[in-house]
A and B are shown apart, each in its own frame.
Chain A
Amino acid sequence: MCAMQERIRRLRIALMLTFVALVIASLIYSRIMAYSLAPTIQPAHLQGLPLWMIPLAYIWDYLSHGWICLLFAFVAAGLVYEFMPKSFIAKHMGSGKVQGYALAAGFAPFFTVCSCTMVPLFAGILYTGAGIGPAISFLLMAPAANVLTILLTGEILSWEIAGIRIIASLVTAVAAGFIISKTPWGKRIEVEHRLNSGTTTTNLGIVKPPLDERLTSALKFGGFLGKQILPFFFLGLVVVSYLEAFLPEEIVATYLTGVGGVLLASVIGGPLYTPTLVEIVLGRGLMNLGMSSAALLSWLMGQPYDIPNMIATSRVVKWKVVLNYALIAWFFSVLFGLAYGLVSGSL
């Protein structure tokens, strides 16, 4: 029984690794051939099309250029999630202040999770005794700077923005976490959770499942993420296609550039709920219509504190804390937007 099973296992591993290698190779190939993975359609093109064709042309533009990128992003997200040492993180989260922040902010980018896992994860971090600071840092870092989001920001917008998004999110996340952990109400929550965390559960000594099962799990998770995210992504594309076709560029130029643009973008981009990845698409649409890069950064930084997120989190910590981190995140999105605008002259 063992030899046969072994051979089947090896075959499956080989197949899956080949698949992954092909995906990576396609991505690299497209880079070498300087084949842009970003959409190229412009508002002017869209305006000349019949009404029903606008979303189709838009979607085709995105897909024909970006399918490799999307495929790679979901495969990467699945692989990273599976092979991240979760038990290690769970065990070490609670062992000291700096370590907690480093783990939370440092590992958060690797957790592209379905949004439903985000809140239990946040609560879980509180219960490991890591403190409210690292927990908030995680909450703000993960949606903004995870594998999926960053890959797509880089491809569809620019790698400069993607890099800055990471740095800005990191600073915001740690700052918000730190500030809240110093407030009396933040501390109270920490104490409350630490007192309650007498867990009666023991963790099974983690025996790592065989590689082929982990690879399958990874690819399945990537597929699951795709199934969850892509339908809304396409819906977002439809909406944005009409926006790009019909929103007058003068309006965008007036309201979404300059200091006012940064402020407006931060206010809308924050509480406004956009499904995962749609904020990138919408951001690009607005850019095509004339929004400044500074406002774009502000817009993107609003991702972690949209209204549904805040409501879900309020079930774990009180609204006071939620509004706190939302306010701090908003403040930093304005700050970074303005700073980036001034430094890069793109205000």
Chain B
Amino acid sequence: MKMFGTVKVLGPGCPRCQETKRRVMNALSELQLIAEVQEVKDPKEIARHGVLFTPAVIINNEIVSQGKIPEYEEVKKWFLERAPK
């Protein structure tokens, strides 16, 4: 298992945000990566990250997606592209 970094899932807690988080967790476990997964639910906090549309995903301070539930394959691609060698 490799140490990855921080992944934040931003959203006020609606079903779409839950589904996004689920996909992130599943992708991490499938790719055997350990990461700190944070949920950001407070609207002010969400906005402070520069995110307008939820659900959003931020990987190590980079906004990789916002405004939709990302496809599972897409989530894996993000991690694969950034995984430590």
Contacts and interface: CB of A to CB of B under 8 A. Distances in A.
A251 interface: no
Interface in B42-83: 42-44, 46-54, 58, 61-64, 66-69, 71, 74
B51 A120 contact: yes
Interface in A189-222: 196-197, 199-204, 209, 213, 217, 220-221
Contacts, number: 94
Contacts of A316: 43-44, 47
B43 A224 contact: no
Contacts of B71: 213
Contacts of A117: 12, 14, 53-54
B14 A114 contact: yes
Contacts of B58: 201
Interface residues of B, number: 30
Interface stretch (A19-27, A124-132, A178-186, A326-334): A124-132
Contacts of A200: 49, 61
Interface of B: 10-14, 16-17, 42-44, 46-54, 58, 61-64, 66-69, 71, 74
Interface of A: 81-82, 86, 89-90, 113-114, 116-117, 119-128, 196-197, 199-204, 209, 213, 217, 220-221, 224, 312, 315-316
10 contacts: A86-B52, A113-B53, A117-B12, A120-B10, A120-B12, A127-B48, A200-B49, A203-B50, A213-B71, A312-B43
